[in-house]
Structure 1
């Protein structure tokens, strides 16, 4: 039977333990401690399940393909029977080794421990390859059995496909969600709040709560990463941008899309947290927001490294030779929005960590090789590329549409030299560059994403400045520029603090004449007058840790600011900065930008989890504030 590309890709991720391979499950644990630890390793999803397929060489290949797909979806091991009607001694031994211990030793609780007892066994195959007697054998041994046997191979694939790739929610069932996601953090102003209509279902109006672990998930209550192993600098760097969901999630038509450093893209049901599909692995880590539009989901893969040869050339040329960021492979991917099937891909020389922008059926990506690229959104055909005069580190493209001419400017920050650059979306022509006037430090303007006020024609960007190597302190400056000309309108320094270890800036959000931005140097969040740059108030994040806090943008919703920083999510009074409520959902947050639809906050964290939190968990008074 011919196996489609979709099935082949999913099946390749399966875990296979065949007959005669019982030792692959690990040695029989001799203590409750080792048994508990092994159970966590074998069942990373927290749900103990085993997939059982026929080991008969005469069985259909499609049986194994279906079994591998289900094993990948459930993060479960796959075992083979000895024959169509007999488990066989090796499979029995493997099953016994996969039982979860009844109790953990005192003081050694596993925070993400699967339920104790024997795993649930899924029988996957046709009735010809797997006899009904296997159900009796398993039940006699005390296993719960999910019988997925069918009369034909095609029916079996359909049965498993309904589990591993359920249909996406319909737009009618999720009326509060946006129909597309075109820029980093959802819109030009970086304020992804989507109120729901009165006709919306109750789960949207009241909020839902769930946690979904991705492939590299770490227990939410665990102290992580280990400073002793990674060092006082290495651990904060990884926590800030190299682990889990660096920048947060995307919400479109009742589906939550999220990228991960595990090189996979996930699509989840926003109501239940159920996995709808996953795609990958990609050539490198994914660190941005998925962009959704034109029936596709766009993600970019890259890394933060510099090769020694690149740094040497840069130094020998005294900065005249352009520095390229990115050690290994980088690419942009376009996946089918409904199925996760790869539609097209383009590769780059430099890193592709920034989130692309989707404007008028074209995708724009700034990379570590110092160029801005434009591609046809549906076919992936290259439209043009433009030299920016410096590399984009984590600066995702934003845009401004001139209300008088209709011309679209793609706006991005670059490092070496530290400029904000505007490029004509149609032609690739550089329209203006704004060289910053303050003493920019490190990757500067290329480390952060510009924020655009479309109505007032302003662009906001911030960067660390005035580095003092003796005290290892910096300041953070935020700039306002005219979107049409690039002319500087104002600049404000927010205060000195310890030099952040990575992603040294904060993503700004603008709403109703006020700019909100955090500084990881001071671990404070600030409100500034949009016209003057005058600081209105600031709020200090507690327990920010050695990495500092305040990188992600806030969301303005229900007359509150909602922001994730350190181990908490906060609700702040937007007029005074007073804390109205907070909640610790587990794990920690890096550059995360929360998304609010109705009364639910969706976000990801550095522990590789995707989370849905009712706003009432953060501030109980929000339920009485109306929609």
Structure 2
């Protein structure tokens, strides 16, 4: 897909709803004949095809006064109403207006003038987030050469337009071509055997290792890997510098981008579909094989910063922001920490959408942010919030079952779960800030089972900012937090802890090393595999491997060219005997036994708290630049021989 196609709307949903998607449908069916009655100008429009094209052109310029990233052109001649209806749908998808060609071999004066007017002006030499790139719109011609001639297409190319014809030699062929772009067929789960059938929580499992082997019978594309990129609504070109780089510098600009434009954490893979949620306020469902957009839902009331959770035919996402109301902070300090602190400046909510259609099923709003990824278990959806509560809803209906105050607010700590094999009791485990605790709650009743506070000097939002990993077999919880801020040199340490999942008793704690107090998210999400804990530290821009039982550091790998913002926030993945990590702007393949670099690939953009999701031979990711992408494992590690099945 061409990068320009991503600029579907021009304004952030948090500031103003984006009505342009709906406005792209200018007319339909027999309504074409009535266009001359529309009062666009004081003077009446001329009659005939040229007059109708002029009226449509005037409306397009009025709806898109600052230009459009794409324009859809359909024939304005009688007998092409089916093409026109298809053009309306395509315009909704690509985020631009419909124009009419006055004849088979001519656009007409008004349509040609509108194309010029719809060029996006260059108003700055810097990247302008949430605005389409400057330049001429991509032009889609709906219909075959009998509707809009080849001479028209060539003339547009000669003028510097990118021209894409969507159509065939019959009306049916044209409708099918448009439908393939607007409403591609839904993937059949039975034909995609390597994908999980559900995604219950953050990174897909308690260990945070989102890896799914495919059987030998899986199709070749699953086994060998695929390549595609899909720009989301606010996508920035992957080769572009960070917006606000001049104002904020290399330390602040990357994290601002992660928190306001793109994807904060990784994607979800279920039944051949990649689900991704973005700070742009939208949820995307994408065909895992070819990157085609299946549907898009939103806008939501605030940024989406988690993994979409998929269970019982529904997709769950939570919306929130990183801000603190000044009044909350003031009350907190005046009370010397006794007044509960609420995180979240804007609106917050949890949404449930139909997994196949994107239709909204239910919603619940909160006081305090809802940034973490929720957790689905046994028909219940668990949502911790910046208001300090853990909420439990009936996943199908949204009815509240219970809520429990945790003793502190949650920032980005996504809940995990563990079932005690001795008692059968399932507990929800989550981190909180102020007080900085790890808390376990009975999944059935909401009763707090244990609370573990560290004696180490927590800094910033601490435990409430990081998502605990759980080893279900050994009953161990892994959590980490920045500690020990030194005001003299503005450095901190990152400490990682192991807790007994049944009691919360601390088993060990290891300090990983001091470094600058990096901006925003300062911790690293841990992953557990084979008795080893793998965790990155943006404080030192280093990946660590530790013995799960003792906390002893086994090896380290330093991320090169991390920059002052630091790298190593997202959890790595273990697949095919290789450790895979997304850090900074690069994908790494490491030897899990010693941390030796096996290969790397830099696709562009930046990865925030992104974890790789691996299905067969493909790594699926999103990034801070608001892109979703698929990368074959062999592109990262050319020496890898992807097995037929494992």
Name the TM-score class by shorter chain.
Answer: 0.7 to 0.9
Specify every segment of 5 or more residues in structure 2 that has no aligned partner in the other structure, as ranges.
1-17, 27-54, 122-126, 157-162
CA–CA distance in 2 between the matches of 1:243 and 1:9? 19
Q: Which residue of 2 aligns with 1:270?
A: 288
Question: Residue 537 of structure 1: SS of its match in structure 2?
Answer: strand
8 A contact 1:10–1:69 mirrored in 2? no
Question: Residue 640 of structure 2: SS of its match in structure 1?
Answer: helix
CA–CA distance in 2 between the matches of 1:591 and 1:159? 38
Higher mean displacement: 166-175 or 369-378: 166-175
Specify every segment of 5 or more residues in structure 1 that has no aligned partner in the other structure, as ranges.
1-7, 28-37, 102-107, 125-130
Question: Residue 168 of structure 1: SS of its match in structure 2?
Answer: coil
1:356–1:65 CA distance, 2 compared to 1 (3 A): farther
Normalising by structure 1, we get a TM-score of 0.85
1:159–1:560 CA distance, 2 compared to 1 (3 A): closer
Alignment partner for residue 467 of structure 1, among 457, 476, 485?
A: 485
1:486–1:149 CA distance, 2 compared to 1 (3 A): farther
Alignment partner for residue 308 of structure 1, among 326, 329, 350?
A: 326
Higher mean displacement: 284-293 or 112-121: 112-121
Alignment partner for residue 95 of structure 1, among 115, 123, 141?
A: 115
Runs of at least 4 residues off by over 4 Å = 8-11, 21-27, 53-56, 62-68, 80-88, 96-101, 112-118, 131-145, 147-152, 155-162, 624-627
Alignment of 1:458-497 (within 5 A): 458-497=476-515
Normalising by structure 2, we get a TM-score of 0.83
Question: Residue 73 of structure 1: SS of its match in structure 2?
Answer: helix
**Cα shift at 1:234:** 3.5
**Cα shift at 1:408:** 1.1
Q: Which residue of 1 aligns with 2:214?
A: 196
Q: Which residue of 2 aligns with 1:20?
A: 58
8 A contact 1:543–1:567 mirrored in 2? no
8 A contact 2:277–2:306 mirrored in 1? yes
RMSD: 3.5
Alignment of 1:300-379 (within 5 A): 300-379=318-397
Are 2:541 and 1:530 equivalent residues in the alignment? no
8 A contact 2:260–2:280 mirrored in 1? no
- Size of the alignment, in residue pairs? 585
CA–CA distance in 1 between the matches of 2:306 and 2:335? 32
Q: Which residue of 1 aligns with 2:72?
A: 50
1:253–1:472 CA distance, 2 compared to 1 (3 A): same
CA–CA distance in 2 between the matches of 1:157 and 1:350? 46
1:598–1:114 CA distance, 2 compared to 1 (3 A): farther
8 A contact 1:22–1:90 mirrored in 2? no
8 A contact 1:476–1:496 mirrored in 2? yes
Higher mean displacement: 379-388 or 224-233: 224-233
- Write the deviation string for residues 541-598 of structure 1: whole angstroms up to 9, x where unpaired: 0111121001000000111110000111001111111111111011111100110000
CA–CA distance in 2 between the matches of 1:302 and 1:436? 27
Alignment of 1:184-333 (within 5 A): 184-231=202-249, 234-333=252-351
Q: Which residue of 1 aligns with 2:139?
A: 119
**Cα shift at 1:113:** 8.8
Q: Which residue of 1 aligns with 2:99?
A: 79
- Write the deviation string for residues 139-188 of structure 1: whole angstroms up to 9, x where unpaired: 69667754589989xx9999865542222211121110111101101100
1:328–1:605 CA distance, 2 compared to 1 (3 A): same
CA–CA distance in 2 between the matches of 1:253 and 1:230? 41
Q: Which residue of 2 aligns with 1:565?
A: 583
Alignment of 1:406-485 (within 5 A): 406-485=424-503
- Write the deviation string for residues 418-444 of structure 1: whole angstroms up to 9, x where unpaired: 000011111111111001111001100
- Write the deviation string for residues 301-329 of structure 1: whole angstroms up to 9, x where unpaired: 11000011111111111111111111111
8 A contact 2:250–2:565 mirrored in 1? no
**Cα shift at 1:237:** 2.8
CA–CA distance in 2 between the matches of 1:625 and 1:151? 45
8 A contact 2:499–2:505 mirrored in 1? yes
